[in-house]
Amino acid sequence: MTSKSKNKNSDDDKFGADIKLIIIGNSSTGKTSIVNQFINKKFSKEYSATIASDFQYKLLKINNLNFRIQFWDLAGQDKSQTYIGLFCRDIHGIIICCSCDDSKSREDTKEWKKSLNEIKENWVPVILCENKCDVFGDNETDYLKDVEELKNFAEENNFLTAFRVSAKNNYNIDEMIKYLINYIRDNYADKIVNSYISDSSNEENLSQHSGTLKNNQKKKKGCC
């Protein structure tokens, strides 16, 4: 067997797991910007409000293992169990988003989480994400202002943990999502549907590849 063949068939190059994540939360908290920053490393000051859902995926290599991350971005207008339940089949992780510039949005994450309680399986981890920390200042010290209060809120309301992020400045986005993926992999490997990804030996392609399956949008608005 040639070195090239051996490399192509190695577990590090071939192995893949499909992980399905959803991000929910109030409108204008920056959910779509978070997903776009993670998938495409892009941020726009203008955004198109999501109607129903937007789906994107990314092939990602973590600790020499390849994962295909399915990311569902749900519209922020509807907290109903019926609506959220449409997208929760075979879900592996959930991010509930609020915003540093809207204190009510943090309180509303409790309602979003309540809507999940009778839908998702008990094992599915739920992370609290507070976006737009760039409103506090220009450096990490500013970003972490009162972060312990956020962590305490997450603990009191039974979130797995909390992350403060900035989609605008690409702060803590990858760290949050990789934390969630690693948690799922380390604690619920039996829940992941394994699949093999062909032609995946190029690590650069794995870190950059993305695609959009569905993109239902309406007129542009300001902010993110």
Q: For the segment 135-174, what is each residue's pLDDT rounded down to a tens digit?
A: 999 999 999 999 999 999 999 999 999 999 999 999 999 9
For residue 143 the two structure tokens come to 């970003």
DSSP 175-219: HHHHHHHHHHHHH-GGGSEE-PPTT---HHHHHH-EEEEEEEEEE
pTM, to two decimals: 0.77
Confidence band (pLDDT; 50, 70, 90) for 192? Answer: confident
Q: Mind giving me the DSSP string for 103-143?
A: HHHHHHHHHHHHHHTTTS-TT--EEEEEE-GGGG-SSHHHH
Domain 14-206: top CATH class:
alpha beta
Q: Tens of pLDDT along 104-120?
A: 999 999 999 988 877 77
Which tens digits make up the pLDDT trace of 14-66?
455 789 999 999 988 999 999 999 998 887 666 554 444 567 888 888 777 78
Q: How far apart are CA 46 and CA 24, in angstroms?
A: 19
pLDDT at 68: 87
Boundaries of every domain in the chain = 14-206
Residue type, 190: D
Q: Is residue 180 within 8 Å of 38, Cβ to Cβ?
A: no
- Report residue 169 as tokens: 């400045």
How high is the pLDDT of residue 116?
Answer: 80
